[in-house]
Structure formats: structure tokens, C-alpha cells
Structure 1
Amino acid sequence: MEKMLNIAMQRLVSQHFERTDFSTPVELVQWMGCMQAQDHAAVKWAIGNRVNGLTDAQVEEDFNAGKVLRTHVLRPTWHFVSPADIGWMLKLTAPRVKAMNKPQWRKLGIDEAIIKKSQELLIKALNGGYHLNRTELAEVFKNNKIDTDEMRMSYLLIEAELDGVICSGKREGKQFTYALFDERVPPVTSFDRETALAELTKRYFLSRGPATITDFCWWSGLNQTDVKRGIEMNKSHFVGEKIGEQVYWFSPNRKPAVKSKSVYLLSSFDELAIAYKDRTALIHHHLINQTKNGIFSPLIITEGQISGTWRRAFVKNEIQLEIMSLDPLDQYAVQMLHQEISRYGSFLEMKLQEPVIGI
């Protein structure tokens, strides 16, 4: 179990919890490659957790300005990615995601002709810097005799994202909008698949190591042949260490992880949990049965491992956190937890009510 704890602590360092070299959201997102982002409030805190001094409003401002984009890449789910990386990353990963989506096309009556027509309509509607929300784009499709029930609309928009036709626009209140890809993203002048594969592999293992080939396959959606090739091209950047039956890859120049009583409030779908197929290192062995179904919930992390969950509630203009600890908290842990709650309040720029702490 000591080996698993060492892995957990080292991942805190790799993912920039225990140290930070970054001052802006895009610097962190580029280091991470991309960050899962189907929960907008959560991914903003995932960034704030790793870049000291940021506020929710600052992350939102950078998102609206297009300094960080939200699109479907890797597995078929939302991610934050930088404009500098979205082009080559989509060219590398989109074919696999599109293949996963194809069976749904047949069920929904989607074919290449409908995809072509829908994308031509998107280009026409968004051209000139327009940012339109999903409802507005559905109206464009309906007016041109394209059926847009909920699932069908989703797959038409995902396909347009994967084809590099659209990406995220600025938000209108709480609504997301879409913009033309070419109006928010610098052009990719050339693409070499081997170079892109090597780069994505390097980003993953440097930012999330120690991790295994299976972990990277899960995160990236790439197959084992690609992943092994990616590691081979990065032999100067990685070393491998066998622990049990698995080989873990990481940077030989990584900063040493120091065992500490650090406490973190993780957002839901945080990369510290979601980026690995095998999440054993995150879960203390005697708590596995208590945490296995809540791994994607907002988590409390102590010494690199899950020690509880949390949730927030808004009361007028204030926020209150409810803390559910898996073990009784000693006085030092409570003190560290209060410090982290205060940091979260500073990120939101909101007044905090006294937290509710239970087991």
C-alpha cells in the first residue's frame, strides 16, 4: 500500500496541486493537454485549484475571450483545450471518437448528406463572428428541414466539432454558444500524426504520471498500439517502474513528492480522478467499498487519497459547504480543511457560511 500512496502523492505534484508554475488558465490547460469539462463550474475550480490566486470570474473571462475552448475531443465528452492545441489534437483523436459515434448515426437516421448540409448551415449562420446557442442553431436546422430532436441535435453538433467546423463561443448568461472554429483558432499549417501522437503522450505522462499504458488508453481513446508507439518516441522523457503487475511511466526529472497533511477540495470529474482507468492509488484500501460509486463526485483529498466528499449550497449571496468525511477528523485535519474551504470561497469571491461537517 505504501507504493500506492507514493503514486498518489506524486500525482499531486505532476498535476500541480503541490506546486504551481502557472499564472493563467491556458498555461495550465496546455500543460495538462486538455481537461474534462462537462461541468463548467467544476472545471473552472479544477483550474483554480492548480493556479494560485485565480478567481472564477477570471477563468470565465478567459473562456469567453476564447483563450480556452470547450469542445468534444478524446473520449466523446467535453474538454477544455487551448486554441494552440485544438487543431492538431482533433486531427489525432477525432477519427476514433467519430468511429464510436457512428452506430448512433444509424439509429438516429443521420448520414453523410445530412452532416454536410448541417455543417454548411452552421458556417452560414455563424460566419462573421456570430455566437449562437443551441436553441438558435436548432431553429436554423428546423427552418431547413433537418430534424433536431435532443439526441440528433447533439450528434450533429458533436460531428461539427470533431470536423473542426465549430467550437465554443462566449457564454450568454448561463447558456453556452457555438462559434466558427476558423474564427477562434489559429490555422494548423501542417499535421504529422507521429509528431502529434508523441506530443499528446508526452503531455499526458508528464502532467499525470505515474500512470500506465491502460490509463492513457482510457484517457485519450487511443489504442494500445498507438500508446506504446507514443511512449517509444518519448523514451528520453519517461522512465518506467514496475509496481505489482503494472508498469508506471513518469518523468525522471519530476520533483519529489513529500508526504504531507495537505487537504484539497476536488471538483467533480477532476483529472486527479478521471484521468486514470485504475484509480486504486486514489482510494485508501479500507475505504474502497465506501468510495467506488462516488469517484466522480466532488472529493476531499488528504495525502493524495480520498478522505470524503463535499457539496455546496447557495444561500442568498453566500455559500455553504457540507462536508462528508469517511473517517473522523482530527484537529489538524479540520484546520487544514477550513483553510481549503476559505481558498474556495476566495476563488468564488463569495462570503462563506460556517460549513456543515459530518461523517
Structure 2
Amino acid sequence: MQGQDLPGVVASAALRSSGAVADVLTALDDGRLVRGYPMRGTVFLMDAADVVWATQLCAEPSLRAAANRRHQLGLDAQQIERAGGIAEEALDSGPMSRADLFAVWEAAGLAPAGGRGYHMLFTLIAATRLVYGPWNGADQDVALVRQWLPGAAGLAERFDGDRTAAVAEWLLRYLTSHGPATVRDFAWWTKLTLGEIRRALPLIVDRLETDGAAESSYWRPGLHDEVRAVGRTAAQPLLLPGFDEYVLGYADRLFAMADDHHRRLVPGNNGVFKRSVVIGGRVVGTWTRAGRPGRRTLEIDGFVPISEAARRRLEARYGEFPFAAD
């Protein structure tokens, strides 16, 4: 799940599992969940067992793009390699906060200000040398992949270097978790080429259901039966974090909202997503927390009229919401 808003993605993971923030934070501390930069130059929360091979599969375009911008920051490949060596030495004794790592680079003459520190850190994470690991109370510490995730397999180990098999596995994961979705959705999500994806699809298509349309959608077997079984529960009001995968996991978000509502969810189309109110599978408003810590209240900006009954349900959702911090 897209994870640049760390408290938000912790909440997204909790909402899809036990509902408890503590369980997600424990998974971070245990090295079962991590954040990395596997694709699109964007940080994602993911299963630690997949971070190395998935990043090796998908990150090369974002690494090339970053390298092409490096001169604007006054950096070169030699400095990046030096930053990596310094980081590996500093982190050999255990994870440390991003601020502390930046201080180590500063002391070594690799000034992290002006975006240089972020660029160096991104590059080393996307190259699968570093990873965002344990929770430190407010953020994730940075850790060495070889130390924090000693058993994480790369493409060579996991798929014997077979990219098509790796694309098929990643495609299957996406369609079973996001479906109904199309191969174009997956191409947008990963920035893998349609050619690679279409070569991989036959390897897993018999494990999915499809509508057989000209541009087919695919989903996990039994999904329609699951929806029928939960009935109207699926339409109950929800409060979702700002960068939740329900909104960000598809090339076209208008399946879940009207175009003018999308403009209100992402003002100025600037990439900053507000928290969404979802009723009946549709984004019908945004929500915020008002007031002081310990006495915060729910405030809703509805795109359409929201009934009092729905507002009461949303208040209940707010009372149960898995906030990672007050």
C-alpha cells in the first residue's frame, strides 16, 4: 500500500487486518512489514519477504529518473556510493532514525540539506541496500537490508532470474487484492510495460475470474460470492486515510467518485490526498480531526448530503479509527 503518509498507511493496514495499530507496529518491529521504494519512485508499505525481489523488478525506471536529476542537487554516482558505504558502516550496529543517519552524512561532508539527503536515502533504498524498518515511536528507523531482512530473496533467488515469472506473481497479487482491475491498472501501479505484463498474464489467468470484456477486468475467484454474503454491510460508511489504496490503487479513480468530487479530494491535483468518507463504495466527502490532542472531534466536508443516520455511523467509525498518533 502506498505509504508516504506513515500514520495513514499504518491505519490502512490496521483497517484491513485486526483493526489495531499495535498489531501493525509490532509487525514493523518484528521485520514482517517494511516500507521501501519498489516502484514509481513512491514509498510503499509491504510484506518484508517481497521487498527485495519486487524492488529489483520494478524500481529501475525510478532509479534512472533519479540519476538524471542528480546533477541538480550537486551529487554524482561516486558520492552516492560513498553515502552507501558510510550508511552501511553506521547501521551495522543496528537501525537508526533518518535524522541520525543524515547527521552521520553531514559529519562526513555529504551535506543532506536541500533534498540531497532524501535523494541519497531514496537511491540506497531503491537499490535494496537500505529499508525503512522498526517503529521508533514517531517514525520508522532506517535499517540495512542484509541485517534487518537477512532472508529476503531477490529476483535471482526467488525466480531464478525469470522476470516473466516475477511479473506474473506481482500481477496475481495485485489482481487478487485490487480486483476487479485491468492490466492497464497494474501497468500504471507498477510502471512495468504492457508487453511484459501481457506475456505474464497467461501464467496466472486460470487462477482468476474475468468479465471477458475488450479490456478485461480480473478478480480473485469467489469475490462475487463474498460480496453477496456480506450483503449491505459492504455499503456501510467508512473513514479512510488520505492515501488509502482504495483511492490510489487504480489508474482511473472515477469508479469511486465524480470528477468534481475528485478535484475536491485532491485540490489542485497536487498529489496530496485528503482523508475520504466512503458510503456505498463511493467517495462522498472528506474528513478531518478538529480540536486539541485528547479532545479531537470528527469534522466532515460532504460532497453530497449525508444523512443523520450515516453521520452517526461515521462517528462510530471515528471512535474506532486506528490512529497511530494523537
TM range (shorter): 0.7 to 0.9
Tell me the residue number matched to 2:270: none
Q: Indicate the SS of the match to 1:36.
A: coil
Task: Confirm or deny: 8 A CA contact 1:319 1:350 kept in the other structure.
Answer: no
Residues 116-265 of structure 1 mapped to structure 2, 5 A cutoff: 116-128=81-93, 130-185=94-149, 186-188=151-153, 189-191=157-159, 192=161, 193-241=163-211, 246-256=215-225, 257-258=227-228, 260=232, 261-265=235-239
Deviations 1:186-237 (A, max 9, x none): 1424443222111100000110011122211111121211222232221212
Task: Confirm or deny: 8 A CA contact 1:238 1:252 kept in the other structure.
Answer: yes
In 2, Cα distance between equivalents of 1:321 and 1:95: 42
Distance 1:206 1:125, change over 3 A: same
In 2, Cα distance between equivalents of 1:305 and 1:110: 45
Task: Confirm or deny: 8 A CA contact 2:167 2:200 kept in the other structure.
Answer: yes
Once the two structures are overlaid, the 10-residue window that deviates more, 269-278 or 287-296, is: 287-296
In 2, Cα distance between equivalents of 1:338 and 1:139: 43
In 2, Cα distance between equivalents of 1:121 and 1:175: 22
Deviations 1:268-327 (A, max 9, x none): 1100010111112101xxx43133341521111111111111011352423311012222
Task: Confirm or deny: 8 A CA contact 1:72 1:161 kept in the other structure.
Answer: yes
Alignment identity in percent? 23
In 1, Cα distance between equivalents of 2:324 and 2:91: 34
Determine if the alignment matches structure 1 residue 50 to structure 2 residue 20. no
Task: Confirm or deny: 8 A CA contact 2:165 2:200 kept in the other structure.
Answer: no
Once the two structures are overlaid, the 10-residue window that deviates more, 141-150 or 217-226, is: 141-150
Distance 1:335 1:350, change over 3 A: farther
Tell me the residue number matched to 1:330: 307
Distance 1:117 1:350, change over 3 A: closer
In 1, Cα distance between equivalents of 2:288 and 2:212: 37
RMSD of equivalent CA atoms? 2.3
Relative to the length of structure 2, the TM-score reads: 0.86
Task: Give 1:331 shift.
Answer: 4.1
State how many pairs are aligned.
309
In 2, Cα distance between equivalents of 1:144 and 1:350: 34
Task: Give 1:267 shift.
Answer: 0.7
Relative to the length of structure 1, the TM-score reads: 0.79
Give the residue type in structure 1 aligned to 2:220. S
Distance 1:242 1:106, change over 3 A: farther
Deviations 1:98-150 (A, max 9, x none): 1222221132233222222111111111113x222223222222332323223
Instruction: Determine which of 254, 260, 265 is the counterpart of 1:289.
Output: 260
Distance 1:198 1:349, change over 3 A: closer
Q: Indicate the SS of the match to 1:292.
A: helix
Task: Give 1:181 shift.
Answer: 0.8
Could you tell me which runs of 5 or more consecutive residues in structure 2 were left unpaired when the two chains were aligned: 267-272
Tell me the residue number matched to 2:240: 266
Distance 1:314 1:79, change over 3 A: farther
Determine if the alignment matches structure 1 residue 63 to structure 2 residue 33. no
Once the two structures are overlaid, the 10-residue window that deviates more, 192-201 or 274-283, is: 192-201
Tell me the residue number matched to 1:22: none
In 2, Cα distance between equivalents of 1:349 and 1:214: 33
In 1, Cα distance between equivalents of 2:323 and 2:208: 37
Runs of 4+ in structure 1 displaced over 6 angstroms?
Answer: none
Q: Indicate the SS of the match to 2:116.
A: helix
Determine if the alignment matches structure 1 residue 304 to structure 2 residue 281. yes
Distance 1:73 1:314, change over 3 A: farther
Determine if the alignment matches structure 1 residue 83 to structure 2 residue 57. no
Q: Indicate the SS of the match to 1:315.
A: coil
Tell me the residue number matched to 1:8: none
Distance 1:127 1:337, change over 3 A: same
Once the two structures are overlaid, the 10-residue window that deviates more, 227-236 or 183-192, is: 183-192
Task: Confirm or deny: 8 A CA contact 2:48 2:152 kept in the other structure.
Answer: no
